[in-house]
Amino acid sequence: METNDLKNFVDLNRDAFEVYDYKAEDWEQIADRLDKSRQHKRSVIIPLRYVWRAAAIVLFVLGGTFYMSWVNWNAQTQEMMMSTELQEAEYYYNDLIAIKVAEISRLDRTAEQEVFRNMEVLDQAFLELKRDLKDNADNEEVLHAMIDNYKIKLEILEQIIMQLEERKEL
């Protein structure tokens, strides 16, 4: 009922409300400004299901990226550990081999050159194993084969030393 009372009041006192005179072109300018402001304020409404889909895709991509970087980091860490293990083994066995070669050289200088020629076969096998290690072909197995190669070299050098010592005693 109150709306009817208000409407009746406005209708009865319309002349009192129209105190100011406006030109028709003023109203057109006002209408134009309102249209322009409505055009600028238009917003895009995105349905919630698309937002959830986009969030799921972003989460999937981030999860995949995290997983791949973790796998890569894990492989690099394992490779570094094997690399240090191999370096330690190389230093150890190369020192032992150098000691044995020096002992052979002390016992018989001519035998030293022959030993080096015979060791070339084992050195070639060792280089092949190093290439396999770089190819990442079952690193643990290749590493053990490389260490076995060093052990074989040492055994051969020890046998040569024993033979040279026996020959010297005779």
Digits of tens for pLDDT over the chain (170 positions)? 566 888 888 888 887 777 777 777 777 788 777 777 666 656 667 788 888 888 888 888 888 888 888 777 776 666 666 667 777 888 888 888 888 888 888 877 777 777 777 778 778 877 787 777 666 655 777 778 888 888 888 888 888 888 888 887 76
Residue in the block written with tokens 């208000």: 6
Other Cβ atoms less than 10 A from the Cβ of 78: the count is 12
Cα(62)–Cα(103) distance, rounded to whole angstroms?
61
Q: Is 170 helix (H, G, I), strand (E, B) or coil?
A: coil
pLDDT at residue 93, rounded to an integer? 85
Nearest to 146 by CA among 83, 89, 84: 89
pLDDT at residue 5, rounded to an integer? 87
Cα(99)–Cα(103) distance, rounded to whole angstroms?
6
Instruction: Find out whether 146 and 133 touch, Cβ atoms under 8 Å.
Output: yes
* DSSP letters spanning 9-20: HHHHTHHHH--S
Q: Is the whole-model pTM more than 0.85?
A: no
pLDDT at residue 79, rounded to an integer? 62
pLDDT at residue 40, rounded to an integer? 61
Helices (H) and strands (E) in the chain, counts: 6, 0
